[in-house]
A = this chain, B = another copy of it.
Amino acid sequence: MTAPQRRGRAARQAAPVARQVNYRQLRNPFTPQVVFSEDEVAGLHATALRVLQELGIRILLPEARKMLGAAGAIVDDDMVRIGSDMVAAALATAPASIPMRAPNPARDQTYENGALIFSAAGGCPNVSDATNGRRPGDLASFTDAIKLVQSFDVIHKMPIAPEAQDIPINLRHLETTLAQLAYADKLLTVFARGTGQAEQCFAMVQMGLNLSADAFAAATWVSTVINSNSPRMLDVPMAQGIIDFARAGQMTIITPFCLAGAMAPVTVAGALVLQHAEALAGIVLAQVAKAGAPVSYGGFSSNVDMKSGAPAFGTPEHIKMQLGAGQLARHIGLPWRSAAGSAGNTADPQSVHENIMGLWGAMSAGATLTLHSAGWLEGGLTFGFEKFICDIEAVQTLAELCAPVDASAAGMAFDAIRGVDPGGHFFACPHTMERFDTAFYAPINADLSTFGTWTANGAQKAEDRAAEIVRQTLADYTQPAGCAEAAERVARFVADTRKAGGAQPLTG
């Protein structure tokens, strides 16, 4: 749903000053909030360097160890110790501003600090909606998720979720890339599950978008999230992904998932030190693989719940870690990703609370990219369609804050105030009539009717109304321009590659 779409009360004059929000291109209007002094940030960075230099990180991919050793790291069996000189060299070559290209040029982004980019729930094995309940993800629900995501401009980057579990793992990457090309024109995402899969996906994107090899390598057309195995371990597919994507000039988003009290120290600062060390190790590997490769700093640290030991999101500690991660990213001069998300099991006050807390935390922290902005339930185990709609309302609310406020004489409305008697109203005055269509954000899911009307209409909760929006959005979906052609261009390659067995994912 493209903003602004406005239904007015009646025909009226065109607005002289329309509310202008281009949901497709957002800049964060706020000053980043902080939780550490500059000295403390320097202390966190220095401590992370000590972790890399004195303790090291276990890297399971021999090629990665070899490359890092050749670049000066001390390799001892599978432990790699990385000096601060190597980190400094990597930070000198990692770009601070990364052009990201989408199939639709109007959806291109510049990935840098100051940008405000949202992606939807990613990585979920399951899907949930009001019609079919909670179930394992499949290609049909994955395709529906793509159509939902495509329908809201405020989500800029495609997620891969729910997982298309009905497709064999050697072929799944073909289907998820094909579906993105066929049904969406936003920034594309590919999982890093081995060189074979990555290369097939890269080929599909080049072919589908009709790109020369040079054009593909000149910008980030696809990106992937790299999760370290905290604490201090990088497994085979993740290390291989960093290398493969760097060599192809595509962006890796290095994201330790540091749950304080579980895979990370129980303290906010301790979890951030570990996150920072692991992220720096990934950034070094990317720059060693190819100097200047696009790489994003990443933080997705939160805490476990003290009662159950389960991951928690939208907590005060999550927000503090978001703010601290932003300080660390700016300290090293790189753009970065954060994440919202929720641990709740359904679209209810808890899960909405958790997600909005994370969204505000990410925006307040100055995150370049906020993943899992909409639809993430159960700590990522489920993509909830009604939850997605509830969350879109929140993401759109933040996006609206990017629009400047009109402080002109007309905006300050002295003449309008003069024209309305004390105790009167502004409903019908020209100043209102000229602007009403575009003055305010129109909620997609809020019901603002009176209690009596609401009750008479069935007392629906927001999640019930969201179910209808899901149905309507899927019914209204139209394939973006160029998608049919892109799918057509890769059809033969996909068929042949399927027949040849696709590519097995890397493990280990």
Residues of A within 8 A of B (CB): 6-9, 29-31, 33, 35-37, 40, 43-44, 47, 50-51, 54-55, 57-58, 79, 134, 229, 231-233, 260-270, 273-274, 277, 303-312, 314-317, 319-320, 324, 343-354, 356-357, 360, 364, 378, 381-382, 390, 393-394, 397, 400-401, 403-408, 410-414, 416-418, 420-427, 431-432, 435-437, 439-443, 445-451, 454-455, 459, 461-463, 466
Contact = CB atoms under 8 A, between A and B. Distances in A.
8 contacts: A260-B440, A266-B413, A266-B432, A268-B411, A270-B413, A306-B437, A345-B449, A349-B466
Nearest to A235: B423
Contact of A36 (B345, B352, B405): B405
A7 B306 CA distance: 8
Contacts of A40: 407
Contact of A273 (B403, B412, B446): B412
B454 A273 contact: no
A459 B345 contact: yes
A265 B430 CA distance: 10
B393 A353 contact: yes
Given A270-B413, A304-B440, A349-B352, 6 more contacts: A7-B306, A274-B413, A312-B446, A316-B397, A381-B451, A382-B451
A434 to B, nearest CB: 9
Given A319-B401, A443-B315, A47 B414 contact: yes
B306 A417 contact: no
Residue in A33, A262, A349, A350 whose Cβ sees the most chain B Cβ within 10 Å = A349
Residue in A229, A309, A311, A413 whose Cβ sees the most chain B Cβ within 10 Å = A413
A305 B412 contact: no
Contacts of A30: 33, 364
Contacts of A424: 231
Contacts of A439: 260-261, 266-267, 303, 306, 317
Contacts of A344: 446-447, 462
Nearest to A455: B345
Contact of A417 (B51, B309, B405): B51
B427 A261 contact: yes
A192 B155 CA distance: 48
Contacts of A315: 397, 440-441, 443
B47 A422 contact: no
Nearest to A360: B360
A306 B353 contact: no
A353 B352 contact: yes
Given A43-B412, A356-B356, A427-B262, A417 B316 contact: no
A508 to B, nearest CB: 13
A352 B352 contact: yes
Contacts of A350: 390, 393, 445-447, 461-462
A204 B455 CA distance: 41
Given A233-B422, A413-B273, A307 B7 contact: yes
A7 B308 CA distance: 11
A2 to B, nearest CB: 17
Contact of A58 (B51, B58, B262, B422): B422
Contact of A308 (B311, B360, B427, B448): B448
Contacts of A55: 417-418
A315 B36 CA distance: 31
A267 B406 CA distance: 8
Contacts of A305: 440, 443, 446, 448
B461 A349 contact: yes
Contacts of A390: 349-350, 353
Given A47-B412, A263-B426, A416-B270, A35 B349 contact: no
B435 A267 contact: yes
B268 A405 contact: yes
B229 A423 contact: yes
Nearest to A324: B405
Contacts of A134: 451
A455 B411 CA distance: 52
Contacts of A269: 405-408, 411-413
A449 B261 contact: no
Contact of A440 (B43, B317, B427, B449): B317
